[in-house]
Structure 1
Amino acid sequence: MRKLFLPGLTATFAAGAALVAAAGFFSPAAHANNVIVLNSGEATLSLIDEATRQVVATVPTGKEPHHLMVTPDNSSLIVANSVSNNLMFVDPKSGKVQRWVENIEDPYQVGFSPDRKWLVTTGLRLDRLDIYHYDAQNNMTLASRLPLAVMPSHMAFTNDSKTVFVTLQVSGELAAIDLATQTVKWKMKVGKVPAGLWMTPGEKYLLVGMTGADYVAVIDWRNQKIVKTIQTGKGAHNFRSLADGKHVAVSNRVASTISIIDEDTLTNVGDITGLLPGPDDMELSADKRYLWVTFRFAKHIGVIDLTTRKLIQTISVGRSPHGIYFFDRAPVTAPNGA
């Protein structure tokens, strides 16, 4: 097993620091609630003041930053740079670069198991799942590299941290991985280009967004059966729970809509329309009144009023905005989007 220590300042960090200084980087105390958006098409992150909804800084990242994840102690936000083969740790409050971890190959998506013992990365380009032991000092030890074809992307964990589910976009499968043994327990066909995953209350069903179709598949994962499909819109992609704990939003990347699914009845109870092209990852505002969404094909993010279910504002960011994170949210371990 290989131990990966978090290095200190690097040339990349120095370049980033110079750019941030030139942009007039602000004191973290001046902007208590910030939003971080990854611009995967131009290797930057945009830092947005939630209150004013203005971009206040642009920070360079590695190549193709797609997804992000806060560390279990909430001290760092991990930006996964898939093409640069590294992880960038930033201050979740200010967006300032803290350190880099190199030689993390093709980290497309990242996620922590609920017990905080495992860090999992999906290698979309390399058809592989990497599993790391993770400790309280933020050290990572590579435990296993598991071949997993074709194009593993999104993941979800069981609450007991025994299993991580991974969608395989090209083969159209869902895989269940035993974390203790780092082995594939099973695979099942679920549909065309499966992407985002969401566990319903009580871990009864696993929802899978079908980006190659126009529905969400409802999986009885214990018996490896599709029990229902929920019509949404073309390109059903990713999920975000709403404040009431009873509904989950799913972004329809091709239809450019967001559907609201009732988690009890497993039905689509309404669509949010009038959006920009390519809605993808989503996050809730601190007061839970607004849903922020990245538009992959529009170089903008949007703010949706959940009372009226209308897009009320767009904010210009970088090319191909993807992952989004709110500083004022409590620490989480599961991926928030993909």
Structure 2
Amino acid sequence: MGFAIKNLFRLIVAVLLAICVPSCVFGPHPKHLQSTEQGQIFLYLSCPVKPTFDISFSISGMSFMNKDGAWIDVALERSVDSEEVSERQIKLSEFYLPAGKYKRIKWTFSEAKVKKDNKSFTLALAQPRGEYSVEFEFSVLGRESLCLFADWDPEQSVFEKYLFRPALTIRKQGIEITNTLIYTTNSGSDCVTIIDRQQDMVVATVAVGTAPLGIVASTDGRKVYVANSGSNTISVIDTATNRVVNTITNFGYSPAELALSPDDQTLYATNPDSDSVSVIDTVSCMVTDRIPVGDHPTCILVDQDRRKVYVTNTAAHTISVIDMYTQSVENTISVGLNPVGMVIHEDTLYVANSGSDNIYAIEIPSYTVTKTISVGQKPSRLLSGLRGHIYVSNANSNEISFVYPAMGLVTRSISTGNLPLEMAIDEWRRKLYVVNSMSEDVSIIDVPTYNIKGMIQVGRNPHGIVLIQE
């Protein structure tokens, strides 16, 4: 009877957490798995050169001709304005194609207009049905992900002042720069988006397991580990080829967040559904131990100097302290409601209490709470930033709080996209990247000016982010 009551209690807690804390923090969104006979395609459009006048058009469909000459239709309805894509990149669509070779792409346009000198004119379409096709050879692999990029030149798309014939150059993903990349997990798309942070544009995608959440990179940047919460695995990506080179089986446990030991030899994965942390040998790619912690462990942090691992137990309102030598819990810290993200800043442990709308400062090694700092609604993740600040992503108020811990107050709040979660800082370029799960993009914040420099559109329900250090 006691076991049944405990299970009922845990079910009620799980339901309450789903309401109070963003669901993407803890687990996957149910989705239909694509067959091995299909490949995933991301289609991006960019306008590298700013036009001298404004052109807009509406896409009503796309088709792809395979090697046998058969057309595969893709549902796509999208309006595009040259001002929207001027010197930036937008995601037109995300879809699946049967595996195989393709040789031609056809666009169907329903309307095109040009605006000049405060006047708007409708342009004639190239064919009666507005179809425009280009030769382009590419291959689609089953269960793989591929980016196609269309570079558009608006000024070369108008002929004789009345005819719309889009000047489009198509290319597929190919990465030349390997030391300025950002990797973002997309829990709703089962893939990782790769961003070049010099251009702040998507350059590739990599298919991984189901509902990827946490992500971490090795110290040398050669490997990226991805927690696939829906398939109970961890994908290992080789950053030299940006392909999955190994898949670690977590034996039925759904991993959420990851952390690496200082020597990159041990990988830790939180398992919210089993109240445990998996210990993984990165050389053999095998689970070597499983450490019981508190209820619903979510985030995990390695303390390199003290050889400790901290785990937030969101349902228990505690932090488990794991000794890396014994691989066992040596202490438990009581904190605020629904703790999630953590960071070590100037020898103090900070934790975001998403149910209390504040962060705690915890003295190490006494593990006593020394300060409480109020922030935004449902603080989710913490990051040690520039100029002595801590950055806090507030999931419900859609903003980043800049906290100056020495004074215990928020010095600035910056609006982001919907449901901001994980963050990464490019210290050299002084840019903060914020993953927005509901708006399916990444905000770029210029830290010195506190301005939003742009948004990078990624996959569905992005969650984690990691930056490869130069």
Identity %: 25
Partner of 1:177 in structure 2? 322
- Residues 38-49 of structure 1: matches in 2 within 5 Å? 38-49=185-196
Q: Is the 8 A contact 2:178 2:239 kept in 1?
A: no
Residues 126-175 of structure 1, C-alpha deviations (whole Å, 9 max, x = no match): 211112344xxx32453321222311111222224532111001111111
- Separation of aligned partners in 1, 2:453 and 2:225: 30
Gaps spanning 5+ residues in structure 2: where?
Answer: 1-34, 41-139, 149-170
2:403 to 261, 280, 304: 261
Q: Is the 8 A contact 2:195 2:203 kept in 1?
A: yes
Partner of 2:460 in structure 1? 319
- Separation of aligned partners in 2, 1:142 and 1:132: 4
- Separation of aligned partners in 1, 2:355 and 2:270: 20
Letter in 1 for 2:349: L
- Separation of aligned partners in 1, 2:305 and 2:467: 26
Partner of 2:349 in structure 1? 206
Partner of 1:127 in structure 2? 275
- Residues 108-147 of structure 1: matches in 2 within 5 Å? 108-134=256-282, 138-147=283-292
TM-aligned CA distance change 1:113 to 1:266, over 3 Å: farther
Q: Is the 8 A contact 1:114 1:160 kept in 2?
A: no
Q: Is the 8 A contact 2:276 2:297 kept in 1?
A: yes
TM-aligned CA distance change 1:161 to 1:95, over 3 Å: farther
TM-aligned CA distance change 1:268 to 1:30, over 3 Å: closer
TM-aligned CA distance change 1:277 to 1:248, over 3 Å: same
Partner of 2:336 in structure 1? 191
How much has 1:280 moved relative to structure 2?
1.0
TM-aligned CA distance change 1:21 to 1:217, over 3 Å: closer
Residues 21-75 of structure 1, C-alpha deviations (whole Å, 9 max, x = no match): 6846544325763322111122122222323333233332211111111124432
Residues 285-313 of structure 1, C-alpha deviations (whole Å, 9 max, x = no match): 36332211100111111111212212231
Letter in 2 for 1:228: K
Q: Using the TM superposition, name which of 119-128 and 155-164 deviates more.
A: 155-164
- Separation of aligned partners in 1, 2:306 and 2:318: 21
| Aligned Cα root-mean-square deviation (Å) | 2.5
**2:222 is the counterpart of 1:75:** yes
Gaps spanning 5+ residues in structure 1: where?
Answer: 1-10, 331-338
2:176 match: secondary structure: helix
2:396 match: secondary structure: coil
- Separation of aligned partners in 1, 2:379 and 2:218: 28
How much has 1:321 moved relative to structure 2?
0.8
Letter in 2 for 1:309: Y
Partner of 1:334 in structure 2? none
Q: Is the 8 A contact 1:70 1:92 kept in 2?
A: no
Q: Using the TM superposition, name which of 220-229 and 247-256 deviates more.
A: 220-229
Residues 168-218 of structure 1, C-alpha deviations (whole Å, 9 max, x = no match): 0111111111222222212132011101111121x2x21001111211111
Q: What TM-score comes out, normalization by structure 2 length?
A: 0.61
**2:444 is the counterpart of 1:308:** no
Q: Is the 8 A contact 2:376 2:399 kept in 1?
A: yes
- Separation of aligned partners in 2, 1:256 and 1:94: 35
- Residues 19-168 of structure 1: matches in 2 within 5 Å? 19-20=144-145, 23=148, 25-29=172-176, 33-92=180-239, 95-103=242-250, 105-134=253-282, 138-160=283-305, 162-168=307-313
Letter in 2 for 1:248: I
2:340 match: secondary structure: strand
TM-aligned CA distance change 1:30 to 1:145, over 3 Å: closer
**2:391 is the counterpart of 1:249:** yes
Residues 210-266 of structure 1, C-alpha deviations (whole Å, 9 max, x = no match): 11121111112422322110111111111222234x222111111111111224334
TM-aligned CA distance change 1:54 to 1:186, over 3 Å: same
1:288 match: secondary structure: coil
1:29 match: secondary structure: coil
Partner of 1:336 in structure 2? none
Letter in 2 for 1:214: D
TM-aligned CA distance change 1:58 to 1:72, over 3 Å: closer
Q: Is the 8 A contact 1:68 1:110 kept in 2?
A: yes
Partner of 2:358 in structure 1? 215
Partner of 1:294 in structure 2? 435
For this pair of structures, how many residues does the alignment match? 311
- Separation of aligned partners in 2, 1:221 and 1:286: 26
- Separation of aligned partners in 2, 1:191 and 1:68: 25
